[in-house]
Amino acid sequence: MRLCAVCAALAVFAAIAVAPAQAYEERPMRLPSAGAGASAASAEPATWLIAAEPGTRGADAIRRRFGATKLRVGDVYKVARPRARAFAAALRRVGGLRYAEPNAPLRRASAFDAAPNGYSRGYIVAPGLVPPTPGRVAIAVVDDLVDVSHPDLAANARQLNPGPVLGPHGTMVASAAAGAFNGSGAVGIFPSALVLSVGLPLEISCADAADGVIAATRARAKIINLSFGSASHCASLLATVQVAYAAGSLVVAAAGNEFAAGNPVIYPAAYPHVLSVAALDRNLAPSGFSSENTAVDVAAPGVGIPLAIPAAFDGEDGAIDGVTLANGTSFAAPIVSGAAAWLATARPALSNGQISDVLRRSARDVATQGYDPASGFGLIQMAGALAQPTPEPDVLEPNDGISFIDGSVFAKPDPYIWKGSGRRSLNGTADRVEDPIDVYRIRLPARSRARVRLRARFGNPDLYIYRSNAKSVFDSSKILARSRRATRRTDSVKITNRGRSARRFYVVIRVGNDPRGTLNAAYRLELQRIRLRR
């Protein structure tokens, strides 16, 4: 019951008017338009991403035939737009087409209308609070290559894919997180923390971003900063951030600067297990540009931030001094990344999920009382995070969709949590902001019956059972049974296998509507074999 008390203290928020952000698809099927005219080609990306089912026989030969290149994540291929439909059809003929989507562009989340006065670090780090000596905890900046010759970053940054510095953005982002205490220039939240620079092209695509995240994951970066985004969902990028999370990395992303442009939901910030960061102004109010939605986790200063800038791009503010001021969630995000790296260094026993929870729970409320979609849980606070009690771990993550546990994204399926023998129970949590869905695999023996119970320890979790052939939790036609009782009530369903062989089912838990506006839930899942009636 201790966890329930913590949840009750943290999670009773005002009802949120903004629509939930987690509207992603596990298996999108969007192919180029059939027309080959100039208008069709100009309206769509030049390349497409086609994913094959794991283990598809002949997939590599098909790839070669259509001139496709393989991404670093799973069986995902990039192919030229004119060949995409035929490539997908070839995979479909052998039963191997998993999804298809455009290789959508992503934009850096910065706004270069510099403000007159710098500030920011003092709102996060209390006077006299001394950071630990940087160690092996690395912040990966997946962006423009960082200028490793800049005085603010020369001692602690290195390029994973060395090359020319094509733009200033990566250097600016890195300095917000880890700029050195060297008597001049920009000082990061965690000065001189190790920065691993993963260079991206000037024009970023979904495939570029996905490969960059995997490169950062393979380099064992504890924190991965993504200061870019798009209103277009990209299943390939969703998969890579879940792979990163499973490997122990915490992905921090800019919430986006699109509030005044219709306020679309921005990805990858809106994906599960990504710490989404909004921007505040000097008065600690939500900036006029920062995107608002229920994926926003925390906030940090994002207006008039002092940042390092490469010499080749310096001087637009009238001074050649290696420093500039800039706005954007692009720079709020690395402030949080720096804080996360400091926390991981000072408290190495924390998992990536616990680091995220600690930063959220210790944040200072700055906008509407309680959680709100403009600032999330509020302004991160370094001293509060260091003193925050350790949260209970959320086991078996990431399991926010069937593709994450059935072997489609990862090398092999998750083990069955129950195989129909006796009783099994486990505790879990779900959260509309960060962890909206939990999926578990179970197996029921031939000619047997089971009862599945979901006891709400806090909030309103709902229970669904999906058939064995389900590929996505968003395919309602595959729902076998459901129970959606009111807050703090027990949901219960019975499932039967009258066949001659064991059958697989998916147990899916979602956070249901709560009249108090509660966004998270804690539960106990119980599975029990019962007598089969003839």
* Count of beta carbons in the 10 Å neighbourhood of residue 35: 10
- CB–CB of 109/142 below 8 Å? no
As a whole number of angstroms, the distance between CA 452 and CA 401 comes to 19
What is the architecture, at CATH level 2, of domain 107-387? 3-Layer(aba) Sandwich (3.40)
CB 426 within 8 A of CB 525: yes
Digitized pLDDT (tens) for each residue of the chain, 534 residues in all: 333 333 333 333 333 334 445 567 889 999 998 765 545 556 789 999 999 999 999 999 999 999 999 999 889 999 999 999 999 999 999 999 999 999 999 999 875 543 333 467 889 999 889 999 999 999 999 999 999 999 999 999 999 999 999 999 999 999 999 999 887 788 999 999 999 999 999 999 999 999 999 999 999 999 999 999 999 999 999 999 999 999 999 999 999 999 999 999 999 999 999 999 999 999 999 999 999 998 999 999 999 999 999 999 987 766 778 899 999 999 999 999 999 999 999 999 999 999 999 999 999 999 788 889 999 999 999 999 999 999 988 888 999 999 999 999 998 999 999 999 989 999 998 887 788 899 999 999 999 999 999 999 888 999 999 999 999 998 999 999 999 987 768 999 999 999 999 999 999 999 887 666 667 888 999 999 998 876
Give CA–CA dist 47/101, Å, rounded: 9
- Give me the CATH code for the 2-19+396-530 domain, please: 2.60.120.380
Tokens of 393: 């771990």
Domain extents for the chain? 2-19+396-530, 46-103, 107-387
Instruction: Locate 482 and state its tokens.
Output: 């459901």
pTM of the entire predicted model: 0.90
Residues annotated catalytic, as ranges: 143, 169, 330
- Cross-strand partners of 494: 451
Tell me if 448 sits within 8 A of 532, measured CB to CB: yes
Q: Do 2-19+396-530 and 107-387 have matching folds? A: no
> Which has the closest alpha carbon to 218: 248, 239, 195?
248
